[in-house]
């Protein structure tokens, strides 16, 4: 229901044409139907996968940053600090 309120706030705050209002309301009702039909569970799974992937990539990025800030004595970069 908050999507509907946000949609009306956007319409009130901007200068949209009639077609823009129709498209915006169509998208808002489509999202509302998706949330009610249970497909939001799929979206939550995708968000969880993305969060898990970012947790897996974070140590690699940290090691790359460490090797960039503190390079080895030979001047080459390594994933192992």
Tell me the per-residue pLDDT of 7-50, one tens digit each, with 9 for 90 and over: 666 666 666 566 666 776 777 777 777 666 666 666 666 666 66
| C-alpha dist (Å) from residue 17 to 11, 14, 44, 69, 72 | 9, 9, 34, 52, 60
Tell me the per-residue pLDDT of 67-77, one tens digit each, with 9 for 90 and over: 666 666 555 55
Distance (Å, rounded) from C-alpha 3 to C-alpha 78?
48
| Domain assignments of the chain as residue spans, ordered by start | 1-37, 41-81
pLDDT of residue 27: 73
DSSP H stretches of helix in 1-81: 2-13, 18-37, 40-69
Helix (H, G, I), strand (E, B) or coil at 68: helix
pLDDT of residue 30: 74
Distance (Å, rounded) from C-alpha 19 to C-alpha 80?
57
pLDDT of residue 62: 72
pLDDT of residue 28: 72
């Amino acid at each position: 229901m908050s999507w509907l309120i946000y949609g009306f706030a956007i319409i009130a705050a901007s200068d949209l044409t009639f077609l823009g209002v129709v498209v915006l309301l169509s998208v808002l009702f489509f999202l509302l139907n998706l949330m009610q039909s249970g497909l939001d569970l799929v979206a939550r799974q995708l968000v969880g996968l993305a969060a898990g992937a970012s947790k897996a990539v974070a140590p690699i990025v940290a090691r790359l940053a460490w090797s960039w800030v503190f390079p080895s004595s030979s001047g080459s970069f390594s994933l192992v600090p």
